[in-house]
Amino acid sequence: MAHTVDSIPIKGLRKPHLRQLVSYIRERDIEGWYYGNKEQFEARHKDLLELAKVLEDIVNDKNAKLR
């Protein structure tokens, strides 16, 4: 069964959840591991690092509120 995803809900997540996700994304750069096709993995990881930057900006913004 295939699923079509228009968005991914983050309801219930708090800033510590986002901080932890950023840590997971950045951990790969420290460990140096990958799986599957390396070029495709690196391209996806680049996208995830951009997401990590956005999440980190939200986490570090004391005025940002998650609803």
Cα(39)–Cα(25) distance, rounded to whole angstroms? 17
Number of domains making up the chain? 1
Q: Tens of pLDDT along 5-59?
A: 787 788 888 999 999 999 998 887 777 777 788 899 889 989 999 999 999 999 9
Do the domain assignments include residue 32? yes
Do the domain assignments include residue 10? no
Do the domain assignments include residue 5? no
Do the domain assignments include residue 67? no
Q: Which amino acid is at 11?
A: K
Do the domain assignments include residue 9? no
Query: Which conformational region is residue 6 in: left (phi greater than 0), alpha (psi within -120 to 50 degrees), or beta?
Result: alpha
Structural domain of 32: 15-60
- Residue 50 tokens read as 């951009």
Do the domain assignments include residue 23? yes
Q: Percent of the chain beyond pLDDT 70?
A: 91
Q: Any residues with CB less than 8 A from the CB of 2 and at least 6 apart, and which?
A: none
